[in-house]
Chain A
Amino acid sequence: MSKELSYLEAIREALAEEMRRDPKVFVLGEDVGPYGGAFGVTQGLYDEFGEMRVVDTPISESAIIGVSIGAALRGYRPVAEMQFADFISCGFDQIVNQAATLRYRYGGRASVPIVVRAPSGGNVGGGLYHSQNPEAWFIHRPGLKVVAPSTAWDAKGLLKAAIRDDNPVVFLEHKYLYRRAKGPVPEGDEIVPIGVAATRREGADATLLTYGAMVTPSLEAADRLAKEGVEVEVIDLRTLMPFDKAAIFASLDKTNRVLVVHEDVKTLGLGAELSAVIMEEKFDALDAPVLRVTYPDTHAPFSHVLEAFNLPNTDKITAALRTLVAY
Chain B
Amino acid sequence: MTPTIVLPVLIGGLYAAGVYLLLDRSLTRVLLGFLLLGNATNLLLLSTGGPRGLAPILGYAEPEEMSDPLPQALILTAIVITFGISAFLLAMIHRSWRLVHEENVGTDEEDRRVAARSGLDADELDPDDLAPEDRPAGHADSLRPRGGPGTGVPSDDVDLPAASAR
Does A associate with B in a complex?
A: no
- Give residues in B with beta carbon < 8 Å to A: none
- Give residues in A with beta carbon < 8 Å to B: none
